[in-house]
Amino acid sequence: MPEAAAPNLGQIPSKTTDQLRFAPSDERRAMTKYKLEYIWLDGYTPTPNLRGKTQIKEFYEFPTLDQLPLWGFDGSSTKQAEGHSSDCVLKPVAVYPDPARTNGALVMCEVMMPDGVTPHPTNKRATILDDAGAWFGFEQEYFFYKDGRPLGFPEAGYPAPQGPYYTGVGFKNVGDIARQIVEEHLDLCLAAGINHEGINAEVAKGQWEFQIFGKGSRKAADEMWMARYLLLRLTEKYGIDIEFHCKPLGDTDWNGSGMHANFSTTQLREVGGKDYFERLMAAFERNLHDHIAVYGPDNHLRLTGKHETAPWNKFSYGVADRGASIRVPHSFVKNGYKGYLEDRRPNSQGDPYQIASQILKTIASVPTVVSNLGVSDAA
């Protein structure tokens, strides 16, 4: 069989001089050079890193997704190919304004094989379950790190025990730079069109949280990864690192970091019911290990039953219980078991694509209607 044609990795159709001379006036206006930052997830395990590189393209106005070309990169430098056959391809899947750059665009990409069509094995986004009626809210916790320790920690030992830091205010609680960074990050996300929903200082000193909400698993996860990218890039100029590990201080009396996943579906919001809820929780319990497998590395260090966590190898749920695997809001029960639920097990390094997909897989396994004969309709 003949080899497939190589994909177009950067050419954008352009008009000839004669076409432009006789074109309508709006087409004769000057084109603008845009800085396109192509962003993707590399092949490192157990947690991929964000990567990015810039190309310059001309457009009459801010580019739409279908105007953005495929672009190749060296996969041998990102653990996505061998040196003797190193070509990989970036496929744009979402585009946002880049508020930190003049005429900038942030381009979220999937990694494809050299044909530009086949998803790369590291491309988890391409194969996840998606549902426009599924809403996700991710609560991303993280630590600011400087000189190998959390921001605000002394060179030796520890600061005062945790307690006053959560939602704290004042220099002794949050220092003199952290709030400036989180406020700047919030502004960048909002200006980029990312559905950022809030910030707060967290339980441990130097620990913070932001929240991202999206309708559809891909949209919510795209925006979480882009928000992470913006935070990592922002803190470069402050000489501060972001530590996403779920338990960077080890087995100490300091909280770890999670990425709690709040979720709902059309069925949960509009129909609900105690019977459906109980069958849903039974399915989450059956699929315990499938969830833990994609909820982030080293989660056994964080999910110990202490510091508002449930043990990683036991499933539980409870109303307003932050020590349960799934927290059930009071409003959910009062509203006839309708609304949203919070899975508190995903950790701060977890991949939101895989987390959302696993939640939807478990939900899809639960019948929404059970007849007297046991015949049911899948969710």
Residue 89's closest CA among 49, 126, 128, 129? 126
The pLDDT assigned to 308 comes to 85
| Cβ–Cβ under 8 Å, residues 144 and 184 | no
Among 199, 195, 193, which Cα is nearest to 178's? 199
Point out the least confidently predicted range of 78-87, 139-148, 328-337: 78-87
Instruction: Give the pLDDT confidence of 163-213 residue by residue, as tens digits.
Output: 999 999 999 999 999 999 999 999 999 999 999 999 999 999 999 999 999
49-66 pLDDT per residue, tens: 999 999 999 999 999 999
Residue 29 has what pLDDT?
79
Band (pLDDT 50/70/90 cuts) for residue 3 is very low
Q: Which residues in 224-256 are b (16+ Cβ under 10 Å) and which e? A: bbbbbbbbbbbbeeeebbbbbbbbbbeeeebbb
pLDDT of residue 9: 60
Average pLDDT, the chain: 92
The predicted pLDDT at position 307 comes to 83
- Find the angle CA(15)-CA(18)-CA(24) to the nearest 5 degrees: 75
Q: What pLDDT score was predicted for residue 268?
A: 97
d(Cα 199, Cα 46) in Å, to the nearest integer?
Answer: 27
pLDDT at 2 over 80: no
For residue 375, pLDDT beyond 60: no
Asked if the model's pLDDT at residue 127 lies above 90, the reply is yes
pLDDT category at 16 given cuts 50, 70, 90 is: very low
**How sure is the predictor about 27, in pLDDT bands with cuts at 50, 70 and 90?**
low
Task: Tell whether the model's pLDDT for residue 318 goes beyond 70.
Answer: yes
Tell me the pLDDT band of 28, cut-offs 50, 70 and 90.
Answer: low
Q: Dump pLDDT digits (tens) for 358-370.
A: 999 999 999 987 6
| Model pLDDT, residue 22 | 55
Domains of the chain with CATH codes: 17-127 (3.10.20.70), 135-378 (3.30.590.10)
Q: What is the pLDDT of residues 96-107, one digit of tens each?
A: 999 999 999 999
- Give, for 145, the enclosing helix (H) or strand (E): strand 135-146
pTM: 0.90
